[in-house]
């Protein structure tokens, strides 16, 4: 018996109300099962290890540390990295000023800081019915009223429903949107809906938190994010995690200038500085001008893996299943025949076929299960060979649970 489990309840510190019910989420349970040795995993949304620019980052780290040991000191956000981010944003079709850029420890922290800035306990927010679980975790301490709208498989978020909500008098603290490379649905917001969503944000004065974690990884026809349409009402969240390496823990926000000071005070209370050594290493790497070629490589390689997965699905999955063809991001969203029990499929896939995925319902907000049984498959992390091996196995598990 562990020390903590042998303690009586009155001998333990009392946790905050929202934290008392915290337990390992169904998603975490699944990820533990998915990480067992021998499993081909389509579960997590990890970048490919073999595509990290490790040698170039090692050289950048060496340059940083050999030139100036104060790189290891507490330090304010690196101005030259903000200049690089400004150039990077231009590649996304966004013009912004360095004074609007706020460096963070990844997109996750960016969303967390913005939520702390905007949301009162019990306040309301608008998002989609199926959404990135990390964002749901960000919201949890506020116990907010989460108002959800559905998502069209072709055109993304139901913007009519957002309008109904706002015109009906609801004033959420913000709208959360993943415009490109939606996680988990892999859809992108249609251009006409982008313009309407921003118009609604401006008309009703409700900010949009735009999570663009995958926006640089579009395989076809990249579109500018919402931030290109509104400087005032779109708070943009960016990250180096998917285009360089998540272990560096560096991302950024692009927000109206007057938010930078309150954000910096909130951030200081959390972790003082935004990973100063990582900032310097990324800055030195960006100075070499290699990032555009790295992004091109990632687009090509992930695009190939996506195609391998789509081909394997077409060859092995039953006609009654359907799936998205992602233009952007890391996932394929698969809808299964209505009789399939996704939890049973998960068990069979892991136990009998040694292959893992995430059931679609793990992403549902307010515990509302999707009407259609669905699963999310990641194609960025497994190699093409593993995808070709894993999809037929998953198809076998599916056929067995379909009887």
Ligand X SMILES: Cc1ncc(COP(=O)(O)O)c(C=O)c1O
Count of residues interacting with ligand X (CB under 6 A):
14
Q: Does 132 bind ligand X (CB under 6 A)?
A: yes
User: Which CB, 239 or 348, lies closer to ligand X?
Assistant: 239
Q: Does 335 bind ligand X (CB under 6 A)?
A: no
Residues constituting the chain: 403
Q: Does 180 bind ligand X (CB under 6 A)?
A: no
Count CA atoms within 13 Å of residue 91 on its CB side.
Answer: 15
Q: Does 128 bind ligand X (CB under 6 A)?
A: no
Give the Cα separation of 343 and 320 in Å (integer). 19
Q: Which of 215, 246, 370, 390 binds ligand X (CB under 6 A)?
A: 246
Residue whose entry in the numeric block shows the structure tokens 């698969």: 334
User: Which CB, 278 or 374, lies closer to ligand X?
Assistant: 278
Q: Does 241 bind ligand X (CB under 6 A)?
A: yes
Give the Cα separation of 165 and 200 in Å (integer). 11
Q: Does 225 bind ligand X (CB under 6 A)?
A: no
Q: Does 106 bind ligand X (CB under 6 A)?
A: yes
Give the Cα separation of 346 and 344 in Å (integer). 5
Give the range of 101-109, 261-269, 357-365, 384-392 binding ligand X by CB under 6 A: 101-109
β pairing state of 101-104 and 151-152: unpaired
CB of 315 to ligand X, least distance (A): 28
β pairing state of 331-335 and 145-149: unpaired
Q: Does 177 bind ligand X (CB under 6 A)?
A: no
CA dist 106 to 71, 75, 212, Å? 19, 17, 11
- Annotate 357-380 with DSSP letters as a single string: -EEGGGGBGGG---SS-EEEEE-S
CA dist 236 to 198, 208, 224, 294, Å? 13, 8, 12, 22
Q: Which of 128, 129, 180, 211 binds ligand X (CB under 6 A)?
A: 211
**x/- binding map, residues 25-54, to ligand X, per CB under 6 A?**
--------------------x---------
Q: Does 207 bind ligand X (CB under 6 A)?
A: no
Give the Cα separation of 24 and 32 in Å (integer). 10
User: Which CB, 179 or 348, lies closer to ligand X?
Assistant: 179
Q: Which of 213, 310, 334, 387 binds ligand X (CB under 6 A)?
A: 213
| Interaction residues for ligand X, span 273-302 (CB under 6 A) | none
CB of 106 to ligand X, least distance (A): 3
Residue whose entry in the numeric block shows the structure tokens 């190699």: 383
Give the Cα separation of 278 and 190 in Å (integer). 35
Q: Are 363 and 129 in contact (CB under 8 A)?
A: no
Residues that bind ligand X (CB under 6 A): 45, 106-108, 132, 134, 178, 183, 211, 213, 239, 241, 246, 251
């Amino acid at each position: 018996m562990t020390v903590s489990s042998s303690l009586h309840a009155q001998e333990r510190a009392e946790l905050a109300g929202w934290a008392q019910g915290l337990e390992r989420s169904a998603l975490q349970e699944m990820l533990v099962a998915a990480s067992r040795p021998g499993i081909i995993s389509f579960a997590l949304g990890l970048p490919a290890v073999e595509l990290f620019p490790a040698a170039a980052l090692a050289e950048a780290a060496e340059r940083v540390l050999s030139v100036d040991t104060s790189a290891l000191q507490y330090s304010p956000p690196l101005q030259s990295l903000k200049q690089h981010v400004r150039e990077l944003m231009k590649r996304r079709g966004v013009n912004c000023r360095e004074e609007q850029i706020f460096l963070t420890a990844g997109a996750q922290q960016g969303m967390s800081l913005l939520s702390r800035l905007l949301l009162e306990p019990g306040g309301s927010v608008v998002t989609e019915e199926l959404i990135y679980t990390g964002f749901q975790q960000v919201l949890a301490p506020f116990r907010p009223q989460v108002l959800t709208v559905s998502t069209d498989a072709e055109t993304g978020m139901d913007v009519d429903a957002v309008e109904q909500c706002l015109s009906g008098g609801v004033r959420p603290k913000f709208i959360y949107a993943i415009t490109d490379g939606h996680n988990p649905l892999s859809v992108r917001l249609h251009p006409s809906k982008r313009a309407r969503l921003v118009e609604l944000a401006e008309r009703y004065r409700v900010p949009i938190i735009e999570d663009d974690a995958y926006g640089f990884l579009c395989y076809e026809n990249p579109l500018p994010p919402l931030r290109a349409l509104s400087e005032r009402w779109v708070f943009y969240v960016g990250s180096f995690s998917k285009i360089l390496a998540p272990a560096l823990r560096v991302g950024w926000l692009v927000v109206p200038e007057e938010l930078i000071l309150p954000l910096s005070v909130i951030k200081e209370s959390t972790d003082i500085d935004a990973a100063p050594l990582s900032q310097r290493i990324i800055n030195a790497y960006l100075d070499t001008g290699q990032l555009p070629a790295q992004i091109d490589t990632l687009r090509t390689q992930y695009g190939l893996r996506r195609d391998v997965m789509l081909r394997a699905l077409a060859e092995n999955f039953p006609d009654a299943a359907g799936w998205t063809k992602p233009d952007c991001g890391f996932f394929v969203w698969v809808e299964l025949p209505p009789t399939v029990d996704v939890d049973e499929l998960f068990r069979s896939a892991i136990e009998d076929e040694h292959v893992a995925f995430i059931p679609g319902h793990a992403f549902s907000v307010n515990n509302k299960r999707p009407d259609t049984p669905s699963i999310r498959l990641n194609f960025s992390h497994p190699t093409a060979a593993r995808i070709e091996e894993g999809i037929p196995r998953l198809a076998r598990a599916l056929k067995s649970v379909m009887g």
